[in-house]
Amino acid sequence: MLKALIVDDEYPARMELRYMLEKHPDVEIIGEATNAREALRLIEALDYDVIFLDVQMPGMSGIDLAAQLKNRPVPPKVVFVTAYEHYAVPAFALRAVDYLLKPFDDERLAETIQRLREMHGGSGQGEGDRGEPPAREGRKGPTLNWVLCERDGRQIPVPLDEIVYIFSEGYNVYVQTYSERLLTRYTLQELTERLPSDQFFRCHRSYLINIYQVRELSPYFNGAYLLRMKDKNHSEVPVSRANVKRLKELFSMD
């Protein structure tokens, strides 16, 4: 169950979002606030999994509130809900889970909820193989021909052949090309399911690699492997024990 807080100074906006969220039985709305100060008091009193946060409000802005929340030992996840697209860059710099631009529909909100489910379901698990996702699951949605990323507030389609690897860090997912690291709004699981399986391999819970961008494969400790990639920094990417068998199949290793 995702415990949610809605923060918006406009009553109709709060009611509309509540109505849309109530269509998701695993989202429990346990608080509403009309401004950032009120939200802070609620957050001090209760632990929320996610905050649906407006940007422009009287007094402290949603961006300022999110910046304060980052300093908490276990900050709630933040989804910005706003009519202003030009706040997207500072929002994602604060590791927002998503940026919902009003008006949005049920389908767009469902994408956000699914992302939150995946993050919430994976929280609290230790390192190593425990909770390791399967290398490839059933597909959801059409196969992608590129991955849409963010650069300086603009949407950049990155061709698949330019992607060296993709990885998650905190709440964010990044696409690594030869010389550049770009933020994407996809989850790692979405990309695992929608990128071509003969080119992209989920080698670790936090990494998805382009198999044609591997420079070296080396045995690592405890049965795992370490890959050196073809980006300009020759990044090292781990392969968990659970995925070594598939790695050997892909590279025809005995």
What pTM value is reported for the model?
Answer: 0.52
63 and 166 belong to one structural domain: no
CA pair distance 21, 26, nearest whole angstrom: 9
CATH number at residue 25: 3.40.50.2300
The helix/strand/coil state of 3 is strand
98 and 152 belong to one structural domain: no
Question: What pLDDT score does 160 carry?
Answer: 94
Question: What pLDDT score does 127 carry?
Answer: 34
151 and 84 belong to one structural domain: no
* Residue 91 φ/ψ, nearest 5 degrees: -65, -50
139 in a domain, yes or no?
no
101 and 208 belong to one structural domain: no
Give the residue, 151 or 128, on which the prediction is more confident: 151
134 in a domain, yes or no?
no
pLDDT band at 140 (very low <50, low <70, confident <90, very high): low
Answer whether the bond into residue 103 is a cis peptide, omega within 30°: yes
- Expressed as residue numbers, the domain containing 9 is 2-122
Helices (H) then strands (E): counts for the chain: 7, 15
80-89, 93-102, 134-143, 206-215: which range is least confident on average? Answer: 134-143
Q: Are 4 and 24 in contact (CB under 8 A)?
A: no
Q: Are 226 and 238 in contact (CB under 8 A)?
A: yes
pLDDT band at 195 (very low <50, low <70, confident <90, very high): very high
Question: What pLDDT score does 141 carry?
Answer: 57
Q: Are 49 and 171 in contact (CB under 8 A)?
A: no
Give the residue, 141 or 138, on which the prediction is more confident: 141
* Residue recorded with tokens 């992607």: 163
170 and 99 belong to one structural domain: no
89-98, 138-147, 152-161: which range is least confident on average? Answer: 138-147
The domain total for the chain is: 2
Identity of the highest mean pLDDT range in 46-50, 113-117, 199-203: 199-203
CATH number at residue 187: 2.40.50.1020
Question: Is the sign of the CA dihedral 247, 132, 182, 229 positive or negative?
Answer: negative
Q: Per-residue pLDDT tens for 25-78? A: 999 999 999 999 999 989 888 889 999 999 989 889 999 999 998 888 788 999
pLDDT average, residue stretch 74-92: 86
Q: Is the pLDDT of residue 123 over 50?
A: no
pLDDT average, residue stretch 146-155: 85
pLDDT band at 121 (very low <50, low <70, confident <90, very high): low
* Residue 35 φ/ψ, nearest 5 degrees: -155, 170
